[in-house]
Amino acid sequence: MSSFDKYQTPLSTRYASAEMMKIFSARERHSTWRQLWVWLAEAEKELGLNISDEAIDQMRKHVVVTDDGFKLAQEYETKFRHDVMAHVHAFGDEAPAAAGSIHLGATSCYVTDNADLIFIQRALDLILPKIAKVVQNLQAFALEYKDMPVLGFTHYQPAQLITVGKRAAQWIQELLMDLEDIETVRERLQFRGAQGTTGSQATFLELFEGDADKIVQLNKILCKKAGFPSTYPISTQTYTRKVDLRVANVVCALGATVERICADIRHLANLKEMEEPFEKSQIGSSAMAYKRNPMRCERITALGRALRGLPANFANTFAQQWFERTLDDSAIRRMNIPEMFLLADSILLTMDNVTNGLIIYPNVIRARIDQELPFMATESILMKLASHGVSRQDAHEEIRVLSHQASAVVKQEGGRNDLLERIKKAEFFKPVWNDIDSLVDPSLFIGNCPKIVEVYCKGEVEEALARYKEALASTTTAQLSV
């Protein structure tokens, strides 16, 4: 059957990276199972079990599952209706000297769960530097525009001025929270190791003739081989699904972060103040040739929405684990774990592309400021009049009347804000006529924004990025194929 005749997830066909797709591929999954069996046999031999060198050599030579190996495993699974045992037999057929030693003392979750933990670890290691790359892009952007005044919004209504860089710094702060949370979960990730069918280690205690210290050594060897600091101290048949939920809570929070950032960019695109990159031959609409739709940010928003909704599945799976294990965690985890990381990866690739090429329109930004700044400047005008001995209450009333007149021009006639011209013509304000232009310089209304941005980006942000210095040095901005 052609690939065009069966459903394929858009995450693999359109959005995610080859590196992330490989982690969750069938070959990687089942080859990792074989690697775990090799490590188990090596460790058991080291601790005194009778496993031949020939058996281990044959296992090592056939760690990577070939296409023929998959066909053989599929035949066995049709017969046994058990995927792990199917691969045990297929591996044994290719490494006959090891057939009696493969999976010795282990339960299915020795390979399935430990493999999942390996994949989670690798996937976390793949997305962390990608978050750092997006942060680095925004850091450069924030510093470049730390001084550029822009209209701030509260309730999506005009508010005090900030700077373009200050708004970007807010996005950075939220992404850094995700980065730090994911780093923490990555650091605390542990291995299941060899724990037996219900976590009692009974089979291994029997193999080692009652020597519990050898089980401790076995798990230390396995952890070292797999690259984990230790095993979880308590296991059932599985590692607790609380681990999956813990990972999902931090990874999926990234979905909410990027939705929030892209909502800002999409609104600013509507205002024509900022746009995502738009390629020379890109088409915005099949009907409206003039359109420049924010399709990258819309894609991120859609993927982010899917990602941030996944923790509910992980929570339900964890909550429904009865006693030492129930198999209703299996099918959903096969979907949810890869999907979570493919979504995060897809999002970060597109976020990298967007944040590395943000377009600013200074003239539009200034025009919007000019529409609102006269109202904001009235407090400064009041203070200036007071310094000339004019009653504040009298001045307040004069400004109130003129402000409503100017507001009517804007709202009812579609005109521009002419409040300053009205003030310059009113005799009441003659003492400050010569000061008015200087009082409405936008740079006077941005407060400490430039310093806030510089201190943050060159301090806390730089410190966080230093942990990824090597990875960032070898990373180029993602180019989107579709």
Mean pLDDT across the chain, nearest whole number?
Answer: 94
Query: What pLDDT shows up at residue 281?
Result: 61
296, pLDDT greater than 60? yes
Alpha-carbon distance values, 307 to 11, 107, 127, 240, 330 (Å): 12, 32, 14, 22, 20
Return the minimum-mean-pLDDT range out of 21-35, 268-282, 291-305, 321-335.
Answer: 268-282
* pLDDT confidence of residue 208: 97
Region 391-399: mean pLDDT is 89
- Give the whole-angstrom CA distance, residue 165 versus residue 240: 43
Which residues of the chain form CATH 1.20.200.10?
109-189+244-360
Position 288 pLDDT exceeds 70:
no
Name the H helices within 208-275.
212-226, 242-270
pLDDT per position as a tens digit, 71-111 = 999 999 999 999 999 999 999 999 999 999 999 999 999 99
Active-site residue (options: 2, 30, 31, 285)? 285
Q: What's the mean pLDDT in 392-407?
A: 90
Other Cβ atoms closer than 10 A to 363: 9
pLDDT for residue 289 is more than 60: no
Domain 18-104 listed as CATH 1.10.275.10: yes
The pLDDT of residue 282: 62
Contact 223, 193 (CB under 8 A): yes
Domain 378-439: give its CATH architecture.
Orthogonal Bundle (1.10)
CB environment 54-85: b (16+ within 10 A), e (fewer): ebbebbeebbebeeebeebbeebbeeeeebbb
What band does 28 get if pLDDT is binned at 50, 70 and 90? very high
pLDDT at 31: 98
User: Which residues of the chain does CATH 1.10.275.10 include?
Assistant: 18-104
* Confidence check: pLDDT of 239 > 90: yes
Q: What is the mean pLDDT of residues 4-12?
A: 88
d(CA 265, CA 134): 15
Give me the pLDDT at residue 383, please.
Answer: 86
- Name, in order, each residue with C-beta under 8 angstroms of 435's C-beta and a sequence gap of 6 or more: 384
For strand 359-360 and strand 149-154, is the pairing parallel, antiparallel, or unpaired?
unpaired
Judged against a pLDDT cut of 80, whether residue 480 lies above it is answered with no
Residue span(s) of the chain under CATH 1.10.40 come to 378-439
pLDDT (mean) for 274-294: 70
Q: Is the pLDDT of residue 291 over 90?
A: no
Tokens, residue 328: 């209703």
* Mean local confidence (pLDDT), 460-465: 98
Band of residue 26 on the pLDDT scale cut at 50, 70, 90: very high
Burial class, 428, CB count within 10 angstroms (exposed 0-12 / middle 13-18 / buried 19+): middle
pLDDT tens, position by position, 310-320: 999 999 999 99
Q: Both tokens of residue 22?
A: 């490989």
Summarize pLDDT for 47-64 with one digit per residue, the tens: 999 999 999 999 999 999
Of the candidates 2, 155, 281, 286, the residue annotated as catalytic is: 155
Q: How far apart are CA 184 and CA 46, in angstroms?
A: 34
* pLDDT more than 90, % of the chain: 80
CATH architecture of structural domain 109-189+244-360:
Up-down Bundle (1.20)
Q: Is the confidence at residue 1, as pLDDT, over 80?
A: no
Contact yes or no for 122/341 (Cβ under 8 A): no
Average pLDDT estimate for 231-256: 98
Q: Please say if 30 is a catalytic residue.
A: no
CB 101 within 8 A of CB 57: no
pLDDT given for residue 479 in this prediction: 62
**Distance between first and last Cα of the chain:** 25
155 is catalytic: yes
* pLDDT tens sequence across 122-175: 999 999 999 999 999 999 999 999 999 999 999 999 989 999 999 999 999 999
